[in-house]
Amino acid sequence: MYELFRKKIEEIISVTDEEFEFCKTMFVPKKLRKRQFIIQEGDVCKYTIFVEKGLLRSFSVDEKGVDHILQFAFEGWWMGDIYSFLTSEPTVYNMEALENSELLLINHPSWEILLDKIPSFERYFRILIQNNLIATQRRLMGTLTKTAEEKYRDLIENYPGCLQRVPQHMIASYLGITPETLSRIRSQKNHKKS
Amino acid sequence: MYELFRKKIEEIISVTDEEFEFCKTMFVPKKLRKRQFIIQEGDVCKYTIFVEKGLLRSFSVDEKGVDHILQFAFEGWWMGDIYSFLTSEPTVYNMEALENSELLLINHPSWEILLDKIPSFERYFRILIQNNLIATQRRLMGTLTKTAEEKYRDLIENYPGCLQRVPQHMIASYLGITPETLSRIRSQKNHKKS
DNA sequence: AAATACTCTTGACCCAGATCAAGGAATTAC
DNA sequence: GTAATTCCTTGATCTGGGTCAAGAGTATTT
C-alpha cells in the first residue's frame, strides 16, 4: 500500500526506514468509491490527501450550478485546500473520486507533529506547494493568453492519460470552456487528420 | 532601510537580533528607477526580490507583442520566478519597476545558506509560497468564472490602492481584458453612480 | 514651449465561444 | 433486458468582449 507513497517522497527528500515508519503512523488510509465525496463545500478541509490509487477532482459550483474544476489528482498526487486546512475556515471546494480510489489522509495536528519530528518534511511540503504554484501560474497565464483550442492541445500534451480517464465535460470545465465547444474542437481536429 | 523587511518576516516567524543581522548580510540592496528592468525574458532569474519601497510588475509578452501581467509587487511583497530561480532555466517573465523602487535581492547560493543557517526560514518561505498559491488559485478560478466587470470589481475591492499607482492598461492586462473594455466598464459604473 | 511619447476614451464592427435545443450513444440501476 | 441517467454531438442563434481606428488629454524629453 505504501510503495508509491514512499517513492514520491523520496523523489524529493530522503527518509530513513524509521522516519518512514513514523510518517506512516501519521496517515490514515481511506478507500473511496467512484462518485463518493471526501470533502464538500462548507466543510472544513480537515485532511491533506495523498492519492495511492484512483483519481480525484476538486471543483467549485457557481450560482448557476455550473462546475468549475480546480484540479485533478491522479496516483502519486496530493490534493487538499491548504487555505481551509490551515485556517479551519470552511472550504469553497468539493472533492470527489472519479474512480474507486485509495487515499492516505493526514489531519492538521498530525501534520504539525510530522513537520516537527522530521524537519525535512518542511522542505518536502515547501517543494510540493512550490510545484503546485508554478503549475497554477502557468495555467493562469494560459487562460489569459490562449484560445480554447490551444488550451486543449496543451492539456492533452501535458497529461495524455487524462482523456481516457476523465469525462470530456469535466475536461471542458477544467479548461474553462463549455462541453459543446470542446466537442466541436475535437471533431474539427479529427476531420483535419483524415 | 530594513524596518519593513524585518516587520514582514516577523509577521510569520520570529527571529533574534543576531539571526536578523545574519539574514541582512545575505541580501543585496538595489535601487531601481521607474521603467527600469531587473529581469528580462530569457535571463535566468538569479534573484528573489523583496520590495522595500516602490512597485514592480512581472509580465510575459506574447507573439503579438501584447503584455500579460502575472503579478504586481508593492512594498512588503516578494517577487521572483521560483521556477527559474531554482532550476536556473531562463525565465519567460520580465520584471520592471513601475515607480522608483528600493529592493533587497537574494541569490540562490545565499538563499540556501540562509535556509541552512536559520531553519525557520524554510517555514517562512513555505508560508509565503503557500499564500501565493492560495491567491493564484483564487485568481485562476476567478478568470474561469467571472465576467470582466466582476473581475475588475474584485480587484479594486481587494487592492484599492492599485488604481492610483498602476496605469489602467496594466490593470486591464492583469485582468486579462483589453484597455478598451476596461475603459468602458469604468465609464458605465460612473454613469450609474450619478 | 514644442515635440514626442504615453495613456485613456469613444465609436463602429466583428468573432470566438456561449447558450438553447434536440437527438443519439453509452453506462448504470432495477 | 429495459428504463433511467449520464454523456457526447451537432445545429441555430446570440453576445461579451475583442479589434481597428481616431482623437484628446498628460507626461517626458530636448
Q: What does the pLDDT read at residue A142?
A: 94
Q: What does the pLDDT read at residue B139?
A: 96
Within this chain, do residues A104 and A182 fall inside the same structural domain, yes or no? no
As beta bridge partners, residue A50 has A78, A104
**Is-contact B47 B107, C-beta < 8 A?**
yes
Residues from chain A contacting residue B130 (CB–CB below 8 Å): 82, 86, 129
Which class for B131: exposed (0-12), middle (13-18), buried (19 or more C-beta within 10 A)? middle
Average pLDDT over chain B reads 93
Within this chain, do residues A141 and A160 fall inside the same structural domain, yes or no? no
Counting as low any pLDDT under 50, the low residues of chain A are: 193-194
CATH number, domain of A97, equals: 2.60.120.10
Domain limits at B35?
Answer: 3-139
Within this chain, do residues B30 and B62 fall inside the same structural domain, yes or no? yes
Q: What is the ipTM of this complex?
A: 0.93
Q: Give me the CA A21–C1' D9 separation in Å, rounded.
A: 52
Q: What does the pLDDT read at residue A174?
A: 96
CB atoms within 10 A of CB A14: 8
Distance of alpha carbon B154 from alpha carbon A164, whole angstroms? 37
Q: Which of A22, A26, A31 is nearest to A1 (CA)?
A: A31
| Joined grid coordinates for residue A77 | 498526487
> Per the structure, how many domains does chain A have?
2
Q: What does the pLDDT read at residue A193?
A: 47
Q: Which of A108, A124, A183, A110 is nearest to A149 (CA)?
A: A183
Among B92, B108, B139, which residue terminates a domain? B139
Among B95, B123, B139, which residue terminates a domain? B139
| Residue type at A163 in one-letter notation | L
Within this chain, do residues B170 and B103 fall inside the same structural domain, yes or no? no
Q: What does the pLDDT read at residue B57?
A: 95
**Is-contact B126 B163, C-beta < 8 A?**
no
Within this chain, do residues B152 and B134 fall inside the same structural domain, yes or no? no
Mapping DSSP to helix (H, G, I), strand (E, B) and coil, where does residue A48 land?
strand
Query: Which of B89, B139, B141 to probe by mutation at the A interface, max A CB count within 10 Å?
Result: B141
Q: What does the pLDDT read at residue A192?
A: 56
Percent of chain A whose pLDDT exceeds 90: 87
| Residue type at A18 in one-letter notation | E
Counting as low any pLDDT under 50, the low residues of chain B are: 193-194
Residues by CB within 7 Å of nucleic chain D, which ones?
A: A 167-169, 179-180, 182-184, 186-187; B 147-149, 176-178, 180-181
Among B139, B159, B186, which residue terminates a domain? B139
Within this chain, do residues B93 and B172 fall inside the same structural domain, yes or no? no
Which nucleotide's C1' sits nearest to the alpha carbon of A150?
C16
Secondary structure letter of residue B98 according to DSSP: S
Cβ of A148 near strand C (under 7 Å)? The reply is yes
Within this chain, do residues B32 and B93 fall inside the same structural domain, yes or no? yes
Within this chain, do residues A60 and A121 fall inside the same structural domain, yes or no? yes
Within this chain, do residues A100 and A170 fall inside the same structural domain, yes or no? no
| Residue type at A85 in one-letter notation | F
Within this chain, do residues B82 and B129 fall inside the same structural domain, yes or no? yes
Q: What does the pLDDT read at residue B161?
A: 85
